Amino acid sequence: MRIAIGADHAGYPAKEPVKELLEAAGHEVVDLGAHTYDALDDYPDFAKVVAEYVAAENADRGVVLCGSGVGASVASNKVRGIRASVCHDTYSAHQGVEHDDMNILCMGVRIIGEELVKEIVDAFVSAEFSGEERHVRRMQKVFDMEANF
């Protein structure tokens, strides 16, 4: 799987460990920044570039790391075709993909520790959309909403 990753200054400390985990599992990782620590950078810049990359189908999924995960999720979801969510537990990370076809995982590095970040990322990339009729029906409603805005 090809996975785009981005992080602002708050998420920056977890970016390399997440990249290493994903690469060790055989995934191709596209690092879209930050490439150096900058305490004054802004999460929307990294959420936008990851979301656009995923929406353009240059990557199968994305991971955006910031302080709380909330800003990354809000910004990512402004890009058409993106279904991003904050997940701070493994259940939401895999269930978000299985039921809701989530394509960007957002996490708050100030909220959870590095080991839990790794477990959540693993749950996210290991999951697949179920394709069950009820989930397809629900996703179609989401797509219809997006098409009208």
Contact 93, 105 (CB under 8 A): yes
Is 66 tagged catalytic?
yes
Rounded CA separation 84/73 (Å) = 6
Determine if the peptide bond prior to 51 is cis (ω within 30°).
no
Query: What is the distance between the alpha carbons of residues 44 and 104, in angstroms, rounded to a whole number?
Result: 14
Q: Cα–chain-centroid distance for residue 15?
A: 12
Q: Where are the alpha helices (DSSP H) in 32-107?
A: 43-55, 70-76, 90-100
Set 27, 88, 99, 135: catalytic member: 99
Q: Where are the alpha helices (DSSP H) in 3-149?
A: 12-24, 43-55, 70-76, 90-100, 114-126, 133-147
9, 27, 35, 66: which one is catalytic? Answer: 66
CB burial of residue 106 (10 Å; 0-12, 13-18, 19+): buried
Q: What residues act catalytically?
A: 66, 99
